[in-house]
Amino acid sequence: MVSPILVLAESSGGKVLALSLEALAMGRKAARESGTSLAVLVCGKGVLTAANELLCYGADKVLAVDNDLLADLHPDLLCAAVSQACDIIKPGALFMAETLAALDLAPRLAARLKTGCASDCVDVSFSRDTGGFIFTKPVYSGNVMAQFALAGEPVVATFRARAAEAPEPGAMSGRVENLDVSLVPSLARYEVVEKVSIDATGGPRLESADKIVSGGRGMGGPEGFAVLAELAKALGGAVGASRPPCDLGWISPVHQVGITGAIVAPSLYIATGISGSTQHVAGMAGARVIVAINNNQDANIFKIADFGIVGDWEKIVPALTRAAAEIAG
């Protein structure tokens, strides 16, 4: 029998991240295809609520490492904890969602275990020929899809948001198994001095917003984003951005949509002053309805939009805000 698949789930405020549930769906698929079992692991301090929630998703095992030293999820300690958990569970593959934490953990762990790692995957399938998994991920700015076979056990893979649909919770079954790992503070090779939280500029969070109004370099400056925020407000949506406005400091990077920002799939996405680069489009192509506003009629963004308005946003956006307010009011 093939070694089990282990999904590492992350939680925030006692709730399992939706992205982790998507990774769990990938784990389920891989387990089904390869005829192996599926285990889910949560690590942290006070993660039992999240672990219990995971009992509803049909994994064969739900495991928890609950340790005071993981309170801050220091990357060195987290890596040690997951690596020890792998020693106990002996999984063939470790899956996680491509989150900021996974961006650190996946390569760190693979380097430590000397196994293969594929980040930002969009699919996994089992190959009967080789008896191993094949991971698919975008390379060259998303212009090419590459398939990789990974060496060693466990192989480590992270999955891009929206690559799989999060499963619906079912009835709770089984109970959470606690894993004992031994951690000591000295495993942390650097010290965390201070944590600073940055408030996103109000409104709903990008990932969960049903409507998103995004601006690009064409907005010309922070003032443009103030105008966009009014449209977002009238629509009850969130503000997004392409990368240049974030790099130029017009808006906080938490608003970035694209392969190095958030991957979103709202019911409505309005792209304003955005040219439609593959790196941006990969982050929003899953939206149900896409509207593009651009003063260049040949902009690529129109190729992937459902509705397009050719014109200057300075004129179009305020008019849209008024029209949206009429509909809402």
Partner 1 sequence: MHIVVCMKQVPDPESPPESFAIDQETLRVEPRGIPPVMSLFDENALEAALKMKDADKDGTRITVLSAGKRVPDAVMLKSLAAGADALAKIEGPDLDHMALNARGTAHVLARAIEKIGDADLILAGRQAADSNAGQVGAEIAAALDFPLITMARKITPDSGSILVERVLADGYEVVKAPLPCVVVVSNEVGELRYPAMKERREAKKKPVSSTGPGDVGAERIPEAGAGLKGLEYPAARERRCEMIPGDDPARAAKTLMKKLKESGLF
**Interface residue with partner 1, options 18, 71, 88, 146 (CB under 8 A):** 146
- Considering CB under 6 A, how many residues would be counted as binding ligand FAD? 27
**CA–CA separation, 138 and 146 (whole Å):** 6
Rounded distance between C-alpha atoms, residue 261 and residue 244, angstroms: 12
Q: Which does 226 bind (CB under 5 to 8 A by kind): ligand FAD, partner 1, none?
A: none
**Least gap, CB of 278 to partner 1 (angstroms):** 6
Residue 253 interacting entry, from partner 1, ligand FAD, none, C-beta within 5 to 8 Å by type: partner 1
Tell which positions 91-110 bind partner 1, by CB under 8 A.
99-101, 103-104, 107-108, 110
Q: Is residue 324 close enough to count as binding partner 1 by CB under 8 A?
A: yes
Q: Does 36 participate in binding partner 1 (rule CB under 8 A)? A: no
Contacting residues for 207 by C-beta, under 8 A, at least 6 apart: 18, 19, 161, 262, 264
Closest distance of CB 168 from ligand FAD, Å: 30
Q: Does 88 bind partner 1 (CB under 8 A)?
A: no
CB of 280 to ligand FAD, least distance (A): 3
Question: Which of 42, 113, 117, 299 touches ligand FAD (CB under 6 A)?
Answer: 299
Nearer to partner 1, 32 or 112 (CB): 112
Name the minimum Å distance from CB 21 to ligand FAD.
23
Q: What is the DSSP letter of 285?
A: T
Please give the backbone phi and psi of residue 123, each rounded to the nearest 5 degrees, phi first. Answer: -160, 160
CA–CA separation, 266 vs 261, rounded Å? 15
| Least separation in angstroms between CB 271 and ligand FAD | 8
How many CA atoms lie less than 13 Å away from 229 in the CB half-sphere? 13
Asked if 86 and 154 touch (Cβ cutoff 8 Å), the reply is: yes
CB atoms within 10 A of CB 64: 22
Would you tell me the crossing angle of helices 313-328 and 222-235 to the nearest 10 degrees? 20
Show the tokens assigned to 116. 């293969």
Q: Choose from partner 1, ligand FAD, none: what does 142 bind? Cβ within 5-8 Å by kind.
A: partner 1
Dist. CA 98–CA 215, nearest whole Å: 24
Degrees, nearest 5: CA angle 259-262-156:
65
Q: Which of residues 232-251 bind ligand FAD (CB under 6 A)?
A: 242-244
Q: How far is the CB of 164 from partner 1 (least distance, A)?
A: 16
Could you tell which of ligand FAD, partner 1, none binds residue 217, using a CB distance below 5 to 8 A set by kind? ligand FAD
Q: Does 201 bind ligand FAD (CB under 6 A)?
A: no
Residue with smaller CB distance to ligand FAD, 92 or 273: 273
Q: Which does 265 bind (CB under 5 to 8 A by kind): ligand FAD, partner 1, none?
A: none
State how far the Cα of 128 lies from the Cα of 95, in Å rounded to an integer. Answer: 20
Residues 167 and 25 sit within 8 Å (Cβ to Cβ): yes
Using CB under 6 A as the binding rule, whether residue 27 contacts ligand FAD is answered as no
Of 5 and 231, CB closest to ligand FAD: 231
By CB under 6 A, name the one of 39, 138, 273, 324 that touches ligand FAD.
Answer: 273
Question: Which of ligand FAD, partner 1, none binds 172 (CB below 5-8 Å, type-dependent)?
Answer: none
Query: From CA 242, how far away is CA 246, in angstroms rounded?
Result: 7
Distances from the Cα of 190 to the Cα of 29, 44, 164, 235, 317, angstroms: 38, 18, 35, 45, 48
User: By the criterion CB under 6 A, which residues form the site for ligand FAD?
Assistant: 216-218, 242-244, 256-261, 273-275, 277, 279-280, 283, 293-296, 299, 312-314
